[in-house]
Each structure stands twice: as structure tokens, then as C-alpha cells.
Amino acid sequence: MPPTLASARGVPETPEQFYERAKNALRMPPVEEWETFPFEGGIRPSALQPPLNDEKPRRGEGGVDCYACTKGPYDLIWQDEGWQLTAVGPTGLPLVLILEPKDHYDIETLPAELAVELGPLIASTCTGGSWGDRPACDS
């Protein structure tokens, strides 16, 4: 099996251990004091729910009703062999882009060869840079 992000380091605790440690420890930073905080008043975290024995399948699990697989050429802003970039909206924000692998991976199962591409692709997307011969944010 090729290396993945999950295989690079072990998971230090079980979901139950994490829940016990974190359920009463969730705190918010004083975001209402930040100059860039766009809302008035504070916010608070939701109560952490305990881990489930059996989670319901996520939408797209196993490729069934998968949003990414249903995207066509007119939905894609950019793509290569391993990745695709799309925009979603309207969201109320100027632009929301989704960068996703073409194959089905979670971040912990992302193959190392794709994982090393992720950071530069995110940086290129955020800076409006270019990948290969195509600008990331052409119009």
C-alpha cells in the first residue's frame, strides 16, 4: 500500500478518548475583539457529540451520488490528472473554490504523491497563480 498522510503518523487516541478529553474543553478565542471579525457579538461552540458506533454513510460514499463525479467540463475551472477546481455559489462571499482530488480520498487516505501537490495547488489558488500553461483564475 502506498504511503498516505495517515500512515505518516499514528492516531494518538481513540474517538472515545478524544471525546472525553475535549467535550468540556471547547473554547472560542475572543474573535469579537478581532478587527477582522465580521459579526457583532460573540459566538460559542456547539456541544461536542459523542462518537457513534455506526455512522450513516456520507453522501458520495463509494461513489454513490457523488457531487465531484457528476461535475462536467463546464463546471471545472481547472483540472489535471489528479485534481479538479470548481466554484460554488452564490454564497455571499466574492468567490468560493473547491479543490478536490478526482479519485475518492479523505485527507488521511490521500496518496503521498497527491499530498505533496496539495499545498502548492492551494497556494496557487489563493494567490491567483498559474498551474502549467493555464492561469488559475482566468475569465
Site residues (vs Zn ion, CB under 5 A): 63, 66, 68-69
Residue 75 beta carbon to Zn ion: minimum distance, rounded to whole angstroms: 13
- Judged by beta carbon, residue 77 or residue 104, the one nearer Zn ion is 104
Single-letter amino acid code for the residue at 86: T
Residue 68 beta carbon to Zn ion: minimum distance, rounded to whole angstroms: 4
Given a contact cutoff of 8 angstroms between Cβ atoms, the answer to whether 63 and 102 are in contact is no
Given a contact cutoff of 8 angstroms between Cβ atoms, the answer to whether 99 and 88 are in contact is no
- Judged by beta carbon, residue 77 or residue 137, the one nearer Zn ion is 77
Q: Which residue is nearest to Zn ion (CB)?
A: 66
- Judged by beta carbon, residue 32 or residue 65, the one nearer Zn ion is 65
Strand order in the sheet with 76-79: 76-79, 83-88, 96-101
